[in-house]
Amino acid sequence: MPRYVKVAAAQTGPINEGTRREEVVSRLLLLMDQAVEEGVELLVYPELALTPYFPKRIRDDYDQFFETAMPATVVEPLFEKARRARLAFHLGYAERDGDRRYNTAVLVDEDGRIFERYRKIHLPGLAHPDPEGLARVFEPYYFACGDTGFRVYDAKKARIGIAICQDRRYAETYRCLGLQGAEIIVAGYNTPAYPLALAHNELVMRAGAYENSLFVIGVAKAGVEDGMELIGGSSVITPLGEVIARAATTGDELVTARIDLDQMIPTRKRWNFFGRRHPEHYGIITERRGP
């Protein structure tokens, strides 16, 4: 029997410096209203969905961008609307936990239950100023490496894993989540534009979906934000690596698809990537960080 789920990537346009959280949440609520109207059951917002992508430069006034609790007061309307509509959703944000800070995401089930937080593991850029001017981002300056490990959550509609931005560029991310039984991997991102940025973005997500026979939902914060262009390309990808829905803009946009989770069954039987693995030969992956 088919197991259909209506999913959506809630891409947002830029959140420029000085934008109040309440304004951002209003935009997220409009996307949620559209999702509810279209019968969406899983809604995915981007990485750092409540703030500008502040790690694009080094600054000292960064405390303003961090939340100490989730749901924070300002996002309560989002949680309440989703609970009333029985809509599961993913939200990325900057988290402060004591004296440590993380690039974090939560998954909220249709009944309003918040699963444990996932904290981004792969942090791009530098932890210090770049005198050569080559660095595009400085996430290690702001965030600690995530300490949660890769998690798969038993939501009511599907088994869902979370990746955040740079995580999606590592094959290990998809494999760790796939081996835990993930059916859908959601990945929010803020990615500076460069000539092959959109191609690379789609390449890694399609490969991860195909190599692990699962669905991937990638969602961007996009557009020109405080002078930096961020790519769009939000999409829904099948277990065969096929893009079945893709953003047409770099602004606020809902990208929807009706997926059949049982599509994974013949795919996994045919390719059997998990069953034909030989972990006894893969020790080098965990023994070495680089060549």
Active site residues: 47, 120, 165
- Residue 135 burial (C-beta neighbours within 10 Å; 0-12, 13-18, 19+): middle
Query: Among positive and negative, which fits the CA dihedral 26, 31, 32, 33?
Result: positive
C-alpha 185/C-alpha 217 separation (Å) is: 6
Q: How far apart are alpha carbons 4 and 60 in whole angstroms?
A: 47
Closest CA to 192 of 224, 221, 218, 229: 229
Tell me if 36 sits within 8 A of 255, measured CB to CB.
no
Extract the tokens encoding 286.
């965990």
Dihedral of the CA atoms 49, 173, 208, 47 (nearest 10)?
Answer: 0
Return the half-sphere exposure (C-beta side, CA atoms, 13 A cut-off) of residue 252: 14
CA 209 to chain centre: 14
Kindly state the tokens that stand for 248.
């047409």
